[in-house]
Structure 1
Amino acid sequence: MRYHKSVSLVAIVLVFALWQDSVVGKKYDHQKKKSHSKEKPHTKYSAAGNFDFDAHLTKTFRTLSDEKISVYDDFLRPSDIYLLRLYVVSLGQWEHTLKDPNDGIKAETVDKDHITWKTRINFAKLEKTSVGQRLLAGVNHFLNASESKYHFYEAAFKLVRRGDIPLISTDASPEEKDITMVIQLVSKWKKNDYGDILFYDQDEEVAAAIHPRLARCIIFDASIPYIHKPPSIDYKFGQMFLTIKLTKSEEKVKEFHDQWKLKYSKRNAARNADFVTAHKSKEAPKLDISKYQTKKVETPDGKKIFVFDGLFKNEELEELRQSIKNARFYYDDSVDSGTDNVQWIAGFNIDSYTKSYFWQIQKQVAAYVSGKDQWYPYDVACNMIRSADHTQIHTDCADVADEWTFLLYLNPGWKSSYGGETAYTTNNSDISEFVTEVRPRYGRVVIFQGTIPHSARPPAHDFKGIRYSFAVKMANTEHQARVNRFMEDFRLYKGLIDGTLQSAKEAIRMRGRTRYEKSLINRLTTDEMEPELEQAQGNEEEEEGPPPGYKGERGPEGEGEEGYEGQEGEGEGMEQDREEMDPTRIYTHAYEFEENEGASKYVMKEFDTIVSNIKSADGKGEKLREPLKNFVDRLASMHVKTSDKIIRNL
């Protein structure tokens, strides 16, 4: 059982969700295409050069002002969709676009479409890939031109969830003559899931309504008003798509590329900077914590919950609140009964946090409530919850663990009518009673033992912003905290090598092979894909010649096997003795390590090395700081390299 759904665990869950899709459905429904030209069968998954656009054109619409909308089905190969989803789900650099995340009434966004979550990528790199070239060729077909001189000037993955409120918008004026493309990355989509795209005439009547479908591409004149409708309230997952904007203006391309580079560099600089208030950590006063206590509650089995008000000044809270905008965001829409089911989390580095003013105050609070002063953080994050989310009762640690959780509410002007309480229950079953509920107040602190079942309730439906609760989980020693942190980071590390890297390597090597592409359709739309995949790989020799897009040479970094640039590590599996590698044999309340047979030698060697460091540390957490820091640095480096390689190999 997983006891924590921390930042790292979110990433690994997402990686393996691509291997066993959470949206259960039947095999991909190849409906007969309606075309303005003669229908043609298309069983080959071809490269851009010989793609039959006429055969894939499903519908064409015209607005009253003669602007054009065209719909193409099976526009990209399943391997292309797989790689795009692999990138955005496990590696994408998400950002939220609310101007003021705490404005729950207007909830205005920076962008006109009012879509809250986006991942903007390097459109110049994407344009040079085989996928980019097919997209450009699609624009030429849309314009009925052999060469259109259009270029990408923006590319963004977007996510729309139930309860979101997108707005009607246009991407350009009629005079600019820009083009927009939307590529659907949804899984099996049912008729009652909603999520349609509506296009409007100038009189605000509907000109076209288009249903979501995997690998569907919609190309249209960018001056047409349109809106992405959110999924139905019964649909618990996100609707994901890639939007690409194109122009003939070289000045516009340069302007947007410069803006993207500047924004990217600023965000990375903010993420790599010290945690806010680090400059004043030495100024933290010795507080009489009892003066700030406003509530104390005990559960029937004697576990404690404390509430404090006024520990932090407004300017300190504002610094923390603003820093969340530049945090690294993690998204997980999987449904897991053992976790909190929070879909959006902003993560922070624990070593950076321990240098902050906030940690200096938190240590005093933890010592006051527990009577111990050796507490150390192992998970520092901010839960971000919206009104349509569905959170769950959970615990933060194993029943035998001695751990506390520190919560800090960060929404100014929160009204009681907004809801969003933190609920505590007597047990984690359907037959339980409430111990208490704590309402959010700006700057309020709640600290409680991590074994108490609890849940952050979503805000009321009339609050359209984000409910923020800054959460820090603490172990009773620095040594145990670093063991906990390592176990979570190792899950991510193992996922990047055995999940993302190996999946990307396989897709790049096998792309274009008919049997493999057919197996990916099943993988993308059902959870019954293993037999199909094995059959496709077993019949690989039936395919003649190298697959389209296979490079057939070593990458420029001189690493890895042929066909995949700079692949790190080895793909061969190795067996390990569970008693030797399982840290729960060493620390009774460390997380359960779920061994995968596909674990690479590189990963297991890394694991063995750090477990040796843990054994030799003699319970002294400071001895683990440097080796675990180096480990996390390699994680970050691999994250960047992997995402870049996937984009380059599309």
Structure 2
Amino acid sequence: MVFHGYRSSAHDSKVRSVNMKHVYLSTICPVIFALLQLFAKTTQEHISVNSDITSQVEVLARTIPQTVLTFLNRYVSNYLYWDFRVNQFEQFTFHDFESSLLGNETQQHDRSMSPWTVRFPIRQFRRTNTWKLLSDQLLGRTGEIFYLREVKTVGVWKTDQTLKHSCASADENDVFMFVFLNTNWEKNDYGELQLHGLLGVDKVVHPKPGRIVFASCKTTFIIKPPSMASSKGLKVLVVRATRAEELSEKSEADETGDEEDFKKRLSENEKDLPAIFLEDVKQFEPAEHLVRRYSLNSTTGIHIFDDVLDNSVVEALVNFVIANATYQENTPDDGSDNVYWISGYPLDVFVRTNIWKVTQQLVKYISGQEGFMPYDVSCNLIRVSDHSKIHIDCSHSVDEFTVLFYLNKDWKVEYNGETVFFDDDYEPILAIKPKYGRIAVFNCGILHSARPPSSLVNGARYTFAVKVSRLEKFQTTDDVHDDVNVIREFLEDASEDEMKNVDVAAVEQLLKKVSKGTASKQEVEQCLKMFEDREKEDIFRNI
């Protein structure tokens, strides 16, 4: 009986336990179930198709046609300018990058979500067939008219550190539209568009060529970089549209002002030079600043100078390059240095600066001769993902020099980025470490290569390069030679529309004058501009 009674008590306990579980399940679970239903409904409303496009994410079945993508890429690459936005000329380590996220929102927004951006003027994009397609898709989904508020192309290359991004002000009237511009993109190239909600990643979109994605302006997004195996940059057209016409008008008005300033910076005749560039050069003895000389033979060598320019002048040079650096996407030729991003500067602007006077003095000290003039002035930007190659800058080693100004502050040995020189057997003979304000001068026929920065640097390695020659014919015809090559390419590739009203005989006569050395630079530039304008119009009609 005692044993039996014990079993009865245990049985009663189990029954009570089961009854309590039943009560718990019958009262608590419906509450949990209702909350789960509410969450599912909220999430579904966020990512599904409905009439309120500003509260959802949608991947459209409709895509931009391949032919239009081709023309869009040509227009962005040839006629718009890329802006690099990663802490500009100071090295930017991963630690600094992470710490910067603790800064104020304005700074984060200014950094952009990608290192590379191209602004597409609203008044131009409004005339494109691409905008007509996008706006028609919006109208069909909402029954409302949307207006342009911002248009830009974002470029992301492997190893780029991209940030999450959203509207500076999460305006409920606004919507993002993403168009993947690459004409060819494989699954293993990565580069997904991630759209984030409150609980993490809501949606991941593969960059299929021509694919269109709509998303609320309240959505946070991030464009992931390509894989390490990919040599291509991912390009995404990011369009912000609004229901509020007055906001669009304000954006366009603000942008027009920016565009005028932009044109002014690009104009060869209107570039404003810092006053410090026009000051007299302080007297200096090059020999007192020479820290290393390496001679290959009696006529060629490498010279390294430190502390020639005051830090204030170097800083002004850095700021000037920041304000005026505009990069056109450049596919390097075979046998070149393979530097992808180069920003050129007008010679007639450069020769007015005291930096040119310092350059002249250094070259005279090395060569013992005068009469050198610049024929190529540019800023080279190299990042960790770049693959620079061994090359020479010219074929007239005795009569030509390259002068390199190093522009990165506080550069450490572990950041790499050296300029490495080689003998004729491609054996390394010297490596110059970047140092703020350092100047390297060498015969431009010496084999050399600019090494990319290490993975510790999220920014870029910068040098300001000046190439000089005593050959008068070469000084005046180098740019002409490049322009003539472009003209010949136009003649070979131009469409019938582009060739309408072109006096082909006159162009051929000009090319004959070039071959004889009797054509002026102005004649060649006018001819080139004519072809460029026609190509630009033809491309624009197709986007």
Decide: shared fold, TM above 0.5. yes
Look up the match of 2:354: 357
TM-score by length of 2: 0.81
Per-residue Cα deviation, 1:283-336 (whole angstroms, up to 9, x for no partner): 234532111111101237963000001111122112221122343534446465
CA distance in 2, matches of 1:220, 1:175: 13
SS in 2 for 1:176: coil
Change (3 A) 1:231 1:333: farther
Per-residue Cα deviation, 1:157-183 (whole angstroms, up to 9, x for no partner): 221101111111123655523111111
Look up the match of 1:474: 468
Q: CA deviation at 1:136?
A: 0.5
1:628 aligns with 2:532: no
Give the stretch that moved more between structures: 119-128 or 171-180.
171-180
1:376 aligns with 2:367: no
Paired residues of 1:337 and 1:392 also in contact (CA < 8 A): no
CA distance in 2, matches of 1:291, 1:84: 54
Per-residue Cα deviation, 1:548-594 (whole angstroms, up to 9, x for no partner): xxxxxxxxxxxx74xxxxxx635xxxxxxxxxxxxxxxxxxxxxxxx
CA distance in 1, matches of 2:127, 2:455: 44
Look up the match of 1:97: 85
**In proportion to residue count, which structure has more helix?**
2
Paired residues of 2:314 and 2:437 also in contact (CA < 8 A): yes
1:84 aligns with 2:79: no
Look up the match of 1:486: 480
Give the stretch that moved more between structures: 65-74 or 298-307.
65-74
Q: CA deviation at 1:400?
A: 6.6
Letter in 2 for 1:445: I
Change (3 A) 1:174 1:465: closer
Give the stretch that moved more between structures: 601-610 or 183-192.
601-610
Aligned residues: 482
Decide which of 203, 211, 217 is 1:222's aligned counterpart.
217
Alignment of 1:552-591 (within 5 A): 561=500, 569=502
SS in 2 for 1:128: coil
CA distance in 2, matches of 1:377, 1:631: 19
Change (3 A) 1:373 1:274: farther
Decide which of 173, 186, 192 is 2:188's aligned counterpart.
192
Decide which of 161, 164, 176 is 1:165's aligned counterpart.
161
Look up the match of 1:231: 226
Paired residues of 1:414 and 1:440 also in contact (CA < 8 A): yes
Decide which of 142, 145, 148 is 2:144's aligned counterpart.
148
Q: CA deviation at 1:453?
A: 0.9
CA distance in 1, matches of 2:278, 2:112: 41
SS in 1 for 2:68: helix
Paired residues of 1:329 and 1:344 also in contact (CA < 8 A): no
Look up the match of 2:34: none
CA distance in 1, matches of 2:541, 2:439: 46
Per-residue Cα deviation, 1:245-297 (whole angstroms, up to 9, x for no partner): 10011221122112211111112212323473587557234532111111101
1:327 aligns with 2:324: yes
SS in 2 for 1:437: strand
Look up the match of 1:114: 113
Change (3 A) 1:460 1:114: same
CA distance in 2, matches of 1:603, 1:305: 43
Alignment of 1:427-446 (within 5 A): 427=424, 432-446=426-440
Instruction: Give unpaired runs (5+ residues) of structure 2.
Output: 1-45, 101-107
Look up the match of 2:63: 75
Q: Percent identity?
A: 24
Change (3 A) 1:110 1:341: farther
Look up the match of 2:239: 244
Paired residues of 1:126 and 1:648 also in contact (CA < 8 A): no
CA distance in 2, matches of 1:170, 1:569: 47
Instruction: Give unpaired runs (5+ residues) of structure 1.
Output: 1-59, 507-559, 562-567, 571-599, 616-623
Letter in 2 for 1:383: N
Letter in 1 for 2:235: M
Alignment of 1:2-13 (within 5 A): none
Alignment of 1:253-402 (within 5 A): 253-272=248-267, 273-274=270-271, 276=273, 281=278, 283-299=280-296, 303-327=300-324, 329-332=326-329, 334=331, 336-398=333-395, 402=399
Paired residues of 1:196 and 1:228 also in contact (CA < 8 A): yes
Letter in 1 for 2:511: F
Per-residue Cα deviation, 1:326-359 (whole angstroms, up to 9, x for no partner): 4353444646551111111111011221222111
CA distance in 2, matches of 1:478, 1:284: 26
Look up the match of 2:199: 203
Letter in 1 for 2:360: K
Paired residues of 2:483 and 2:525 also in contact (CA < 8 A): yes
RMSD over aligned Cα atoms: 2.9
CA distance in 2, matches of 1:245, 1:396: 44
CA distance in 2, matches of 1:498, 1:211: 37
SS in 2 for 1:131: helix
Change (3 A) 1:458 1:437: same
Give the stretch that moved more between structures: 383-392 or 317-326.
317-326
Look up the match of 2:16: none
SS in 2 for 1:263: helix
TM-score by length of 1: 0.68
CA distance in 2, matches of 1:432, 1:76: 47
Paired residues of 1:168 and 1:226 also in contact (CA < 8 A): yes
Look up the match of 1:125: 124
Q: CA deviation at 1:372?
A: 1.7
Per-residue Cα deviation, 1:127-151 (whole angstroms, up to 9, x for no partner): 233322111112223xx23x31111
CA distance in 2, matches of 1:209, 1:333: 31
Per-residue Cα deviation, 1:373-428 (whole angstroms, up to 9, x for no partner): 1211111101001122111111111267732111000112222222211111113x
CA distance in 2, matches of 1:268, 1:184: 28
Change (3 A) 1:75 1:378: same
Paired residues of 2:190 and 2:225 also in contact (CA < 8 A): yes
Letter in 2 for 1:161: W
Letter in 2 for 1:264: E
Q: CA deviation at 1:207?
A: 1.3
Give the stretch that moved more between structures: 405-414 or 283-292.
283-292
Letter in 1 for 2:154: K
Paired residues of 1:339 and 1:392 also in contact (CA < 8 A): yes
Change (3 A) 1:601 1:76: farther
SS in 1 for 2:63: coil
Letter in 1 for 2:78: S
CA distance in 2, matches of 1:223, 1:281: 49
CA distance in 2, matches of 1:609, 1:211: 52
Letter in 2 for 1:353: F
1:647 aligns with 2:515: no
